[in-house]
């Protein structure tokens, strides 16, 4: 099933003309492309997967918020009946990889809505983090030919990774999420996906952010380019989850265990409550460590989310506006 069919809100994103541009060369440097010696693991970063970020035994619950439509701080308004936050990770959806045709450089772009969330973090992000919820920034293509899968060299990937790390540090975020959609590779004369690009990118980002979260929305060309020169993407990232809403299918990411994977993909505004609850039951029964949701609206969704939380944690969900 195509992304245009199953992720209509994601597909509807405009090519915004306003925002913050951070410039990156798709470098022409002839430096030899070599990956560092693979590390044994990043268990110290991944942490204890038996409990979620807020200390409740069970899978971690992840929530993407389409900030073009909804308020990000809604993530922090949902609690379990015993008071703990429902969500472990909230993801700002989404920043973009744009392409400057004059300089032939990729750029990190924040549209008006993302800029508003980041610049007003005291009211949009920090209250969420104050509850113990981790906040990530999702990185997405923007129909201009630039994406996570076509960096032409290790140097180019490193430079873009530096921009991402700078954004995390500037805005006090907890990590980066990668979504390899809507790049339209080849547009504007850009290259097609290659086998090294995504591995180079996550390797460089892990070096720059040794204690932050890196996640992968399992979709697009990057999903079939997860190993290069003996290094796996799974050895560098924390989590990956299924991306086709309304389906249950575990990502195949070498280097990640079940505790770091999410087979359930639920769109809150579209996936039926019975399906969402069924997927939660399966996630727990099958021993997976992540449950992924998308499209949290501004309206009270506690009844819908209670089906999920009761299955995952044996506790209902409450909403505090």
Alpha-carbon gap, residue 218 to 9, rounded angstroms = 17
> CA–CA distance from 247 to each of 93, 221, 228, 276, 304 (Å)?
21, 20, 29, 10, 17
**DSSP count for the chain of H helices, then E strands:** 10, 16
- Among 66, 84, 159, 181, the one annotated catalytic: 181
Q: Strand pairing of 89-100 and 105-110?
A: antiparallel
Q: d(Cα 259, Cα 266) in Å, to the nearest integer?
A: 18
Which residues are CB-neighbours of 244 under 8 A, at least 6 positions away?
A: 1, 6, 219, 265
Is the separation of the CB atoms in 53 and 132 below 8 Å? yes
Rg of the chain over Cα atoms, rounded to whole angstroms, equals 18
- Whether 84 is catalytic is no
Backbone angles phi, psi at 144, to 5 degrees: -115, 5
The residues annotated with a catalytic role in the active site are 181
């Amino acid at each position: 099933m195509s992304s245009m069919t199953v992720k209509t809100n994601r597909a509807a994103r405009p090519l915004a003309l306003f925002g913050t541009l951070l410039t990156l060369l798709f470098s022409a440097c002839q430096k030899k492309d070599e990956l560092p010696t693979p590390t044994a693991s990043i268990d110290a970063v991944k942490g204890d997967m038996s409990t979620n970020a807020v200390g409740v035994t069970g899978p971690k619950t992840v929530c993407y918020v389409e900030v073009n439509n909804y308020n990000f701080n809604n993530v922090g308004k949902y609690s379990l009946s015993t008071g703990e936050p429902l969500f472990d990770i909230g993801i700002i959806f989404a920043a973009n990889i744009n392409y400057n045709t004059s300089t032939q450089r990729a750029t990190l772009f924040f549209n008006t809505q993302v800029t508003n969330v980041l610049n007003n973090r005291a009211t949009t992000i920090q209250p969420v983090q104050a509850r113990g919820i981790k906040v990530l920034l999702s990185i997405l293509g923007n129909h201009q030919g630039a994406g996570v899968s076509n960096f032409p060299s290790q140097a180019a990937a490193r430079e873009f990774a530096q921009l991402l790390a700078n954004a995390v540090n500037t805005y006090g975020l907890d990590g980066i999420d990668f979504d390899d959609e809507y790049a339209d590779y080849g547009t504007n004369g850009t290259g097609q996906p290659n086998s090294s690009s995504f591995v180079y990118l996550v390797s460089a980002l892990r070096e720059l952010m040794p204690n932050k979260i890196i996640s992968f929305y399992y979709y697009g060309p990057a999903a079939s380019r997860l190993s290069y020169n003996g290094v796996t993407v799974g050895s560098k990232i924390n989590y990956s989850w299924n991306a086709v809403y309304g389906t249950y299918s575990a990502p195949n990411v070498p280097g990640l265990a079940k505790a770091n994977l999410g087979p359930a993909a639920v769109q809150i505004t579209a996936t039926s409550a019975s399906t969402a609850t069924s997927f939660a039951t399966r996630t727990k029964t099958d021993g997976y460590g992540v449950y992924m949701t998308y499209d949290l609206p501004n309206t009270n969704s506690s009844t819908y989310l209670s089906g999920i939380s009761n299955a995952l944690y044996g506790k209902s969900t409450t909403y505090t506006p």
